[in-house]
Structure 1
Amino acid sequence: MFKIALLGTGGTMPLPNRALTAMIGSCNGKMILIDCGEGTQVQLKKIGWGLKNIDIICFTHYHPDHIVGLPGLLSTIGNSERTEPMTIIGPKGLHEIIKGLMVIVPYLPYKLNLIEIPEEGLNSFCHGRYCISSIYVDHSVTCAAYSIGVKRNRIFDPQKAVKNNIPVEFWNKLQKGNTVNLEGKTITPDMVLGDERKGLKVCYCTDSRPTLGLVDFVQDSDLFICEGMYGDNDNLEKALKNKHMLFSEAAHIAKEGKVKELWLTHFSPALNNPEEYIDVAKEIFDNTVVGKELMKKELKFSK
């Protein structure tokens, strides 16, 4: 199971009733955060999943509404007695951005591992059950979209274990993914586990114009979270100028990518009631939802 929550749905600046866009995911208690604008840790407190177990933070880009909440969040996590390393992933320029932000947080009790997305995109960085990939998209600054895959545990196959003459006392260790040595021979989990099973896939894209690569990238997602900066198709000129998307454009990507569900987010401050334009998207892709503060969903593995 993979739990997903939208921490906020606002673009550009926070509003009294709309926090800035960010997403948190949790699987087996280990969490991944995408973007961290001002006020993100307040939203994390509201969702109640904790902060200490955030292992990975991904940044789409480095505009203030997506990143300036980071120093405070890292400081709070440090005060929770975390000592395990944390991974931060972001587009090129990540090292300089983190160096600048950390001037006000000069000490943390844990290490930050920084992964800068290469020119061709990030191809499957895996941590625990998470596998993360990314592509660059089309915004006014360098910006990335993310795909989060959650791996499914393989089923233990006792017949394989017996066939490979593996003693019962090693089965549990191998089932958990550990390698063991038996009389000088290396025994791997593959020798007792069944075939790979279909996992879960969640894709996330804000601050971009539609791109051909994005359709392939989100293909067959269980959930696609995408910006809908403007609801009215009459705002196309503004979307082109500012490198953002219309509701209808996000819906077309969802349809062409054959995703299961689309959540719209990152609304313009001028878009007071995004629900007014939901039919614009639903006419193209029916399973479209207008994102709301602290909206949650549990994605379950298919049988």
Structure 2
Amino acid sequence: MNLTILGCYAATPRTFTNPTSQVLEISNRLFLIDCGEGTQVQLRKNKVKFSAINHIFISHLHGDHFYGLIGLISTFNLLNRNNPLTVYGPVGVKEIIKLQLKLSNSWPQYELNFVELSSNQSEVVFEDDKVIVKTIPLKHRIYTNGYLFQEKPKERKLNVAAVQEYQIETCYYQNIKNGKDITLDNGKIIPNELLTFDPPAPKSYAFCSDTVYNEDIVEIINGVDVLYHESTFLESEEVLAEKTMHSTAKQAAKIAKQANVKQLLLGHYSTRYESIESFKDEAQTIFEQTQLSNDGVTFQF
């Protein structure tokens, strides 16, 4: 599971920082999460293959999370894209994008689909044979969702020496990898655990950006491998965080600790701070396994 941070700062882009956008690679799937202004430039800088992006997940309709979307959609068209593209986001994202395409007479030649969200309950929005994606309802000034990406359990690994010892025919191998026991010709049942090894544990990633401190999400994200949680402010600005419906680094750490996550990534820093190191220092007083996201950094989990 690889996570490339394209941008992780709040509000406006600057010459050296970018608003929210990131690319998650999981089970050989590539997902773009949020699409702030300048995302396509960051994709090029980080050498992300444009054609590999077939699904874009937008958390909410504040500009620093989706103003780069229309530009990316248009560039896909200029690059003669053929693959369908699906955009997931709040009700309204379809209207906004279609109006821009209409008035600029820039309708894409590829299939462009929208999955608009309005539920305040967690729901499955994407699923295939390897990955499932659910929403994480957040509390912000407008309707907002985070997203939970989960690998599906992989098939078990065949213990070649064991199946040969029991002289099991190859036609049964797939059933064994699927977890089934085997009955020999003499009626003896061979338990699956004697014929296979455990597969790698499935990975999971939770993206939670732009939310006031909200313990309601703990149950949804419990036990994830990696949690990205916004930390717009430090504890000294907790009143401002509550007023603007954002979180502090310490509050993000509290959520991580309650949810028993393995790793916390901080982001969505306010540009009022000269250094982001204080965010990590503050969070680690609550949750030691904390790292700082930063533009252009790729994490491997």
What TM-score bracket applies, with the shorter chain setting the length?
0.7 to 0.9
2:204 to 186, 201, 218: 201
Deviation at 1:222, TM superposition (A): 0.9
2-side partners of 1:124 and 1:112: how far apart?
16
Matches within 5 A, 1:51-62: 51-62=50-61
CA deviations 1:2-56 (Å, max 9, x no partner) are: 2111111111111121111111012465310111111011111111121111011
Task: Say if 1:249 and 1:6 are closer, same or farther in 2 by CA, change over 3 A.
Answer: same
In structure 2, the partner of 1:154 is 155
Instruction: Specify the structure having the higher radius of gyration (Cα).
Output: 2
Moved over 6 A (4+): 162-166, 193-197
* 1:57 to 1:128, Cα distance in 2 relative to 1, 3 A: farther
Q: How far does the alpha carbon of each residue in 1:161-208 deviate from its partner, in whole angstroms, 9 at most, with x for none?
A: x9999958xx88xx89xxxxxxxxxxxxxxxx9988631100011110
SS in 2 for 1:272: coil
TM-score, with structure 1 as normaliser = 0.82
The answer to whether residue 34 in structure 2 is matched with residue 35 in structure 1 is yes
1:214 Cα shift? 1.2
Aligned counterparts, 1:181-220, within 5 A: 198-220=201-223
1:239 positional shift: 0.6
Distance 1:126 1:164 in 2: 34
Partner residue in 2 for 1:244: 246
1:271 counterpart = 2:273: yes
1:36-81 deviation line (CA, Å, top 9, x unaligned)? 1110111111111211110110000001111111111112223333
Identity of matched residues, %: 27
Counterparts of 1:298 and 1:207 in 2: how far apart (Å)? 24
User: Where do residues 276-295 of structure 1 align in structure 2 (5 Å cutoff)?
Assistant: 276-295=278-297
2:111 is matched with which residue?
A: 111
Please state whether the residue corresponding to 2:124 is helix, strand or coil.
coil
**1:114-172, Cα deviation, whole Å (9 max, x unpaired):** 1122412322521352210012211001100110112353136697xx9999958xx88
Report the Cα distance in structure 2 between the residues aligned to 1:268 and 1:85, rounded to whole angstroms: 35
CA distance in structure 1 between the partners assigned to 2:54 and 2:300 by the alignment? 19
Query: Any conservation in 2 of the 1:154–1:197 contact (CA below 8 Å)?
Result: no
Which residue of the other structure, out of 260, 263, 267, is the alignment partner of 2:262?
260
8 Å CA contact retained: 1:75, 1:105: no
Query: Could you tell which deviates more after superposition, 45-54 or 247-256?
Result: 45-54
- CA change 1:73–1:230 in 2 (3 A) is same
Q: d(CA) in 1 for partners of 2:109 and 2:229? A: 35
Opposite residue 210 of structure 1, the aligned amino acid is Y
RMSD: 2.9
Matches of 1:97 and 1:127, distance apart in 2: 28
Q: Report if aligned partners of 2:27, 2:151 keep a CA contact under 8 Å in 1.
A: no
Partners of 2:123 and 2:100 in 1: CA distance: 23
- TM-score where L is the length of structure 2: 0.83
Q: Does 1:137 align with 2:164?
A: no
Task: Give the 3 Å change call, closer, same or farther, for CA 24–52 of structure 1 in structure 2.
Answer: same
Q: Summarize the alignment of residues 12-91 of structure 1 with structure 2, pairs less than 5 Å apart.
A: 12-27=11-26, 29-91=28-90
In 2, are the aligned partners of 1:146 and 1:205 still within 8 Å (CA)?
Answer: yes
Aligned-partner SS, 1:116: strand
Cα distance change on mapping 1:194 and 1:80 into 2, 3 Å: farther
1:15–1:269 Cα contact (<8 Å) kept: no
| Cα offsets for 1:74-125 (capped at 9, x unmatched) | 1222333321211211123333233234333632122122112241232252
Secondary structure of 1:35's match? strand
2:253 and 2:283 in contact (8 A); partners too: yes
Which residue identity does 1:109 align to in structure 2? Q
